[in-house]
Amino acid sequence: MTAHWALYQDTLVPRQDAKTDIEDRGYQFGDGAYEVIRVYSGKLFLAEAHAKRMDRSLRELRIPFPDCVERVLKGAQLLVEAEGIVDGIVYLQISRGVAPRVHQFPSPEAIPVFSGTASPLPRPFNLIEQGIRTLLLPDIRWLRNDIKSLNLLGAVLTKQHAKERDCYEAILERDGIMTEGSSSNLFMVTKGELITHPANNLILHGITRQEILRLASETKLPCREKTYTVDELLGADEAFICGTTTEIMPITTIGFFDSQNKYVEQPIGSGLPGPVTRTLQNTFSRFVEDFIAGVRNKS
């Protein structure tokens, strides 16, 4: 389904009228930030957390955007209502603006360009239930992955490599330490304990990741943020990725190139979704279902 409406500078416009200049720095440099917000039953899910993360990304990029949280929330809601989205996503991005092409910040300061769209997207129940195949690759991205930057070439290339191996996601390692997926966060389970990379500059501070950590704490599931190696992941009992559109997807196999440069695939644990992952999936699903029920009760 093609979007009929777009957001441009806080205002809804017909999709075909949403245009920016060729010297928009988002287009030329990837100089900006973005967010993707999930919509369940016509309502924005965890929207304030996404808006606050957008605000943080812009501050780290030194892009001035007053009242960011309020404007992101309002823009997202306008798109959901205009497109009549029931289950889907809202994509919002803010670039530094239009200016003659130089690498340093423009002077005088450019006006940021705020744009977005909304589209339907069903929940991926089959992959959530069956699990996914993944491809292990070097993390070739930049060193500020805590910023949700428009510049996603590292993710594009690794995701494409995964697709060419018939894998759903690329999971990334830097100097032998696992970081995250190309478009998701990564967890492993060892001896009943949930482990994920610390929230530093090497990974995105995922909103779904934060909720999983919160739910794990509330349900007394042992959980640690710590670094772990490729070998530790390959020897884990369970592993899964998580994200706004993926929710929680079990990893059943990891493909990689061995020391002889031969491609092999190794199952994680039994090669089936494990009990800790299933427990977390059920807990997260109840969280989403309670949110949806609350929406329906208010309507």
CB-CB contact of 99 with 63 (8 Å): no
User: 98 φ, ψ to 5°?
Assistant: -100, 130
* Element housing 195 (H / E): strand 193-196
Specify whether 148 is catalytic.
yes
- Tell me the residue ranges of DSSP E strands in 15-105: 32-40, 43-45, 88-95
* Element housing 63 (H / E): none
Q: Which of 43, 74, 148, 220 is flagged as catalytic?
A: 148
Secondary structure class of 218 (helix, strand, coil): helix
Q: In terms of Cα–Cα distance, which of 248, 233, 260, 259 is closest to 287? A: 248
d(CA 55, CA 65) in angstroms, rounded, equals: 8
* Element housing 109 (H / E): none
14 contact partners, CB below 8 Å, separation of at least 6: 4, 5, 6
CB-CB contact of 114 with 18 (8 Å): no
d(CA 236, CA 240) in angstroms, rounded, equals: 11
**Residues with catalytic roles:** 148
